[in-house]
Structure 1
């Protein structure tokens, strides 16, 4: 009898259990969809308060645009800032006087000039005095740190306004005594806002048929200067005469401007606008090819470009050039994090006020950054990293309160769940033991398996639907004990959170049953201990061709009764030899080289857990098995410290690896602190005079290098990137200490 009652209770609870899973999956899907929508929203980022705060600008259904102010250290939202905009949601943004200048158009075409301070306070300067018939992208200009606005009001009255040091001045071109006839139309003079023009200018059509040229900057009476085209002048001659006259009246030097060559390798040289004569190439500390110029203020210009004549083979570097002092300040640590192709973007802006030591940049929805050009400190915030801040908000986390809010919506699924759960629980409280049983079953399965990272190889719908959501058959490819394996897993998938081929996943794999199950973040232990394999002997070496300057090898190690194969890159001058011993590490189903060789350095120093954000990927034409060699440039972060590293890895085919991805890593504390310390010092080129090796740390050879700079020898002891390598005669870019004669490599002789 008792068995019959228990069976009846269990059968009665089956709908409640099924509905409970459906409710939870629906709640989870809605939370994930809400978080996904928030994370995918386009945002523009701007640093404030000397880099300690970040302003995010995104679209808003109510006001058109919305600002959010975040604290960089805590990553917490400090304040929401509403910003008015019309349906086009266009805006222009600049820095002045330590504040963000934010320009929009409202619903009635009025120009709003908002000044946003470090506390998120907003002050509107235009006060409805400017209307604009047109779009902002053709009406707002940045020239030497000044904002210049031009256009026509809906009443066809041309005007020019300028924003300088946080103050706004406006001049209507039809005011008395400015022009000899009524102005009817205004347009930019092509090229006058570039660095090889002394004065920005506009061309103005007059009512009597003549043409006038007016300056984009104002005289002490807060008016632009004007020049009327003569009858015997061509438009080109009139532009030249106006530019020369304006430069003389404003006291500007038009004989020593900057210009980028039109022909390769497009270097920067001085330019005499008055004589239309190019001068000498600007003597930057290192040559800058395929250059771009960004005017920062009246005295300084940012020069950014490539280290090589073919930009596809080089790195981005940059210098702030002080035109008065004729001096250069290296800002490559910051600009090298921007892909070269994005230097052409209309949405990339650099800002630096005269006399300030901070250089800022904003790259639309991609990233923002700053650098203290005197101290060398810098910080970069990518759009991907900022999205993780947004998802950290309470409203996107699963919690009791958010679940209660979900239940309060009371849709059909929730009502059915309430009927089948509340009444049975009240009548048959004994069935409360089911959840613990389910958890115990899952825990038992987890204990029988091992946690391994894998990649979705194929996705097939089974034709079965649960709550109108498909039951999908996934094939997961992963590496276990040195071999590639596949496992099939069935799972109900939400249409709001699709999973595709190539997506990385975590699974629990039962070797004895050859079965697997997907893992959640709660299933994976936070500090999973890796398995060390000591005294592995190198038995065989297979050569798989060249890998940049190195050679791609497949190493076969024997330890106990097992054979382990590991792909590596052998650096020039370094040699793996059969018979040598190594330490291997088994983690996440992958076998990796932990250290190799009789000269192996001890790995007992304290290690730091850091994050590395991929900033550049260079695939190589080398594939071993199902893994392809790639060279990554990563930005290593630990607290407020930032370090750029180059590292090659053999990546499983089909694995989605992209710029902006965050990779966890572990580094030795003493080496990390040494490199950070030296990078804060001096940098320069040095020639390698001696190289020796002492085994490897991981798969990177540990090198002892002697480099000569200005007659002084510097000692470099560090692991090196094997695909680049270091050989005698190489010209390296190093960071060094003149007292201790220690140094580290900043850039290899071979560019990635």
Structure 2
């Protein structure tokens, strides 16, 4: 009843806010014609639609944004959100008349957007490729291709991804059959993505050997591989270069580079022998040259017509390495000479079948040159940024509405006041229970959880909110002695506690005081939680073993903080230094949320259940003053009784006995799958293979192939780490003969 009255009160206060919202919107629509006052900083200018439109990549409050403008009218046609982390880095490339933009998202994953001239955006990577470091160090542009060295939550770098022709291809290093051992470290061969080099990476293998892989994919999407065979290091590097070049379709004997000596002309050279192979044949000699690889066939050579740049004029030729023909691109050279260039910052793009060649100087401008007719167009950053202040159309927009609110006129102020009143009421109703709960949690931390029973109940004669204050006497055992304690509590007339009822209390022996504890009190406050993503495992401390399992204390590092988490590691599963995990802080404690490639379940996908302890035993594994308790639980879900095992580290002040009820969280899909399979057949099976994908919480997540009567069944679920699972083990499972799915019900052998 109180909640209904509160909801009605809040609704009454919202009525003026709703009325003022309508008035404010009408006032805003009458002022729509004005320009925006906030200027978004442009980071790059890219032409589309044969120069009729331009896409400006700009910084926004939430990351990056693509602003698509009509060049003629300077009107914005579309705003395209580009998810980005705090560093606002991106890489771009023209591919098939579209613009491909790659960013590192706010969740540290690769995002790849393909944007056409109409502003339609299609995403390729869909956050499936984690980026371990800065985007600018993990992303490479090579002759129109975008190449990424990515990773997973298990390994920092374990894949190569490439976008060519607006198509994304990915190759994982652990699938390379030519390697004799798995890679443990990968690094780009220095400057190998320059026009005069063969792009490739160097790998350190687990067995101590070294290998090389191509920095781009071959014509069939394969990754070129070369592994050292104990050769002389110099010979090995040459053999690797030759093998990788062949695998990616590059002729290493006819690469192009600029002579480092005066007057710096463009030469062909043989990367195998290191010898030059003659000057690049151009219609006229160019000196003080610079090379820009624009696609797989063409290189732009920019320079001056005289050996001394002061005496000559700027000139440029687009040289086709396949046809060995050149096209004059001098207007572009003259424009580039005007730019305040930062070394390596300017990027040049061109599609092989297009006469337009594009350039982008992120710090200054962007433009294009039509090689067929000499037409050229250039836009500077200040020009494009000024378009944000051009009078726009008469359509309402979120940006315009936010500008209207910033005027702080009388309507806006009244609207905010009447909006804040109900919001404050909601916050009060929400926060007060949390304050009370925080006080209870503090008392729980200072006490010891014990089971007892009521031996006396009497009213004190005091009323609180017309509810009686009752004095309860609780009898319990502590340190082998039977004790009693009095607890005062306000009780509703609807409650009917009786002498002899079992209760759970938190007892403070120092003060000889106690409070009643409910199941809700024992559960962590899910609102007071923080997820720590990408924590790095720095140290592993071994703290004993029991059966197949080992007790470990994992030390993770994130945001310059160290977090210690005790875990149980089953035989066959390894936590590895340098790998990453997601942690969760709840009520002052830290636990593993996810490690490795195990499925990631959101809070909305979790089902909260309650398990009753039917058997409990201590295990000789200890960490941080806590002891592992092996508990057999009976869990009721949708009318069925499930048997579960759990082996948490339990502090000494928490008493776990048969009959104790424990909160349990399970992924909804896993629970539904288990309930579905339990309706079918059951029987024993023998484990053939086990593959651990990581952990869900502290429980390893395994993919198991089990054989029964000649049939193989697939099991995917988290397992009890204290038992583990290995090939040859027997287990009892529920299975479906049609889908060949199964779920493990209990361990038939665990030693």
TM bin (shorter chain): 0.3 to 0.5
TM-score after normalising by structure 2: 0.47
